[in-house]
Amino acid sequence: MTEVLAYIGCGVLAGLFGGYLGLGGGVVIVPFLTLAMGVDIKQAVPVSMAAIVVNSLSASSEYMKKGLVDIEIMVPLAIAMVLGMIVGSSALYFVPQQYVRLLLAVILVYSAVSLLRGQEKPAHHREQNKRTRLIIGCLLATIGGLMGGLAGVGGGIILIPLMFLLIGLPLSTARGTSSFIVGFSGAASLGVYFLSGLVNLTVAPPVMLGSVIGGKFGGKLGALAKPKIVKILLFIVLLWVSYKLVTTAIREMQ
Amino acid sequence: MNAAHGRLKTLVVFDHWSWLLFVAWFTVATVLNALGSSAGAAVTYWGIVAVLVDNVMRLVLLAAHFELEKKSTYLGLTVVLILAMIASILFQLWVH
């Protein structure tokens, strides 16, 4: 019983955190399941993916209610991301992943610093060269998806800085749009794990239950959040993921 | 315009009801698993199928919104996204 409550608690925490920031929540779930609960990483990742998808359903709906999802930017970026992930996962056996992890870590550190220093752009600025910036954004989302697929990093962490810094969306809209996209890219991965029989059907329900509840409240809070707090939290998450990428790459090189 | 926005409202309402459904669904699955019932795995299995179908339904509602707004490019892109998701699953299954 205690174990079940711990899984639900993990899901709620991940849902709150992921929904608030517009990420999936895998940053919380995978370390918790592997380090605190002793779940094997091969089982933790599919469970995390299932939780990310239901978290996205809950959180993105809250952002959408407040008009914080840009659906016209979301659709092309989601296509670019999914296509990049297809290429990335198929190139797993041909590309040395440790170098991709190091490169992605450098990009994420740069994004973290730029995000922290970046200012919201006025509406008229967003309209200038909108199409060109969207095309460049799609190209970068494809590369981001490709690198994410190779390095095992989710889409939100790449998409939010991209939408805020390059496309010029307000941070709240970038997070709302990202929370929508991670659901679609996550569903594609979940479908694979599910059809391969890799989702642990005992661990998944309490984590998904927690995540679906936490995502709702995370989305509600996230839609009202102050940009400064969000920027600091995203900065910390981006640095944390970069650190994990570097340590994993160094371990693989040894 | 109003009809198009109405379609987005349909998506929000759809999300609300599916949220309630999933809370109920995974509560039942969690309780059944905790009680040691073998039905828990089956409930979870169909719950995940429902989650995947829900994602496709959201895209269909989005496509309907674009159709009503007469934004044929975005309608086409939404269809491409649905196909890309299906292609991604099939491709990864084939690769792995």
Query: Coil, strand, or helix at residue A24?
Result: coil
**Cβ–Cβ contact B47 with A under 8 A:** yes
Helix (H), strand (E) counts: chain A = 11, 0
Please tell me which residue, A32 or A213, carries the higher pLDDT value: A213
> Nearest chain B Cα to A80, which residue?
B81
Q: How far off is chain B from A229, nearest CA to CA, in Å?
A: 27
Res B96: pLDDT = 66
The answer to whether B22 contacts A57, with C-beta atoms less than 8 Å apart, is: yes
Quick one: pLDDT band at residue B1, thresholds 50, 70, 90? very low
> Given A86, A196, A201, which is nearest B91 (Cβ)?
A86
> What's the domain count of chain A?
1
Q: From the list B8, B77, B92, which residue is nearest A192 (CB)?
A: B92
Three-state SS at A119 = coil
Q: For chain B, what are the domain ranges?
A: 2-95
Helix, strand or coil, per DSSP, at residue A120: coil
Q: What percent of chain A has pLDDT over 70?
A: 96
Locate the chain B residue with the closest alpha carbon to A54. Answer: B51
Q: Which residue range(s) make up the domain with A40?
A: 2-253
Nearest by Cα to A244 from A101, A112, A142, A115: A101
pLDDT tens track for A48-58: 889 999 999 99
Please give the mean pLDDT across all residues of chain A. Answer: 85
pLDDT in tens, A29-80: 888 888 888 888 788 888 988 999 999 999 999 999 888 888 888 889 989 9
Do residues A171 and A15 make contact, with C-beta atoms less than 8 angstroms apart? no
Report residue A125 as tokens. Answer: 């600025």
Neighbours of B25 (CB within 10 A): 23
The predicted model scores a pTM of 0.87
